[in-house]
Amino acid sequence: MAWWKGWDLIESLKSELSGKFEMLMVALVYPPFKYDAKELHDAMKGVGTSEGTIIEILASRTKAQIREIIKAYKEEYDSDLEEDIKSETSGYFEQILVCLLQGERDNATLYVDTALARQDAEALYAAGEKIRGTDEIQFITILCTRSATHLLKVFEEYQKLANKSIEDTIKSETHGSLEDAMLAIVKCTRSVHCYFAERLYYALKGAGTDDGTLIRVIVSRSEVDLNLIKAEFKKIAGQSLSSMILDDTSGDYKTALLNLCGSDD
């Protein structure tokens, strides 16, 4: 288990606090990669699996970040992240998660070969709209092993070829957790800020609050790109993130979240 110097503080916080405020304060103590490792571990332990948490982390982190998460996971839990994911998931959903762990998706690409992008677009079209059924492996391979800049060109070429967006095709060709994972990859490729803004919006929208997602996104992005996420949130929700937090949370928990979010000016 954890051995770094913050562990004693975590134990102290757990003994002194409770509920959502405790969850938030503990999350703030963890170093980023150890926190992601913890969230993945928590998503898989016990009965059932929190697929949404696993998808969010693996689809939104860079390859370099994922390498550090794998390392932190091994250090903290003396277990292999890939093997644990394989034991908790199955089928094409398992394959797309493993591919995200191993892929070269975020390689920097300054120059995009339009012919190669068109080739991938044609392969996706042939794997979905053009046939009866779906070649899921082709979708997984292209979405998980191409750079973001290349994928953006693929999506553009796909729209021209199929006369519909790649998102619409994914929705019609897949379902369940596999669909959620593919859509998360596409959304993060187009704009990771929009993706997290949407995650926050659905965490706060309607009756009840998905506090796990709310805490994880705000803590993990607070010193990275939260201001950009807040701007996208306002476009989606029609109101600021802080105003929705004010309406949906209370007490010290609310105060701490608002301090993390900062001013909306």
For position 142, which CATH number holds?
A: 1.10.220.10
The pLDDT value given to residue 94: 97
Per-residue pLDDT band at 6 (split at 50, 70, 90): low
Residue 52 annotated in ligand binding: no
Q: How far apart are the first and last CA of the chain?
A: 42
Integer-rounded Cα radius of gyration of the chain? 19
- What is the rounded average pLDDT of the residues 118-146? 91
- 48 annotated among ligand-binding-site residues: no
Res 110: pLDDT? 65
- Which tokens go with 157? 């070429």
Is 48 a member of any domain? yes
CB 180 within 8 A of CB 55: yes
Is 148 found in the same domain as 176?
yes
Determine the pLDDT at residue 8: 78
Report whether 91 belongs to an annotated binding site: no
Where in the sequence is the domain holding 11, given as residue range(s)? Answer: 7-102
Number of domains in the chain: 3
Tokens of 217: 């996104």
Query: Does residue 107 form part of some domain?
Result: no
| Residues 141 and 171 grouped into a single domain | yes
- Which of 142, 165, 190 is where one domain is finished? 190
DSSP 62: -
Co-location of 130 and 76 in the same domain = no
pLDDT of residue 108: 58
140 in any annotated domain: yes
| Structural domain contains residue 109 | no
Residue 187 near residue 194 (C-beta atoms within 8 A): yes
Mean pLDDT of the chain: 91
Instruction: Give 90-119 pLDDT, tens digit per residue.
Output: 999 999 999 999 976 655 566 789 999 999
At 172-209, the pLDDT tens digits run: 999 999 999 999 999 999 999 999 999 999 999 987 88
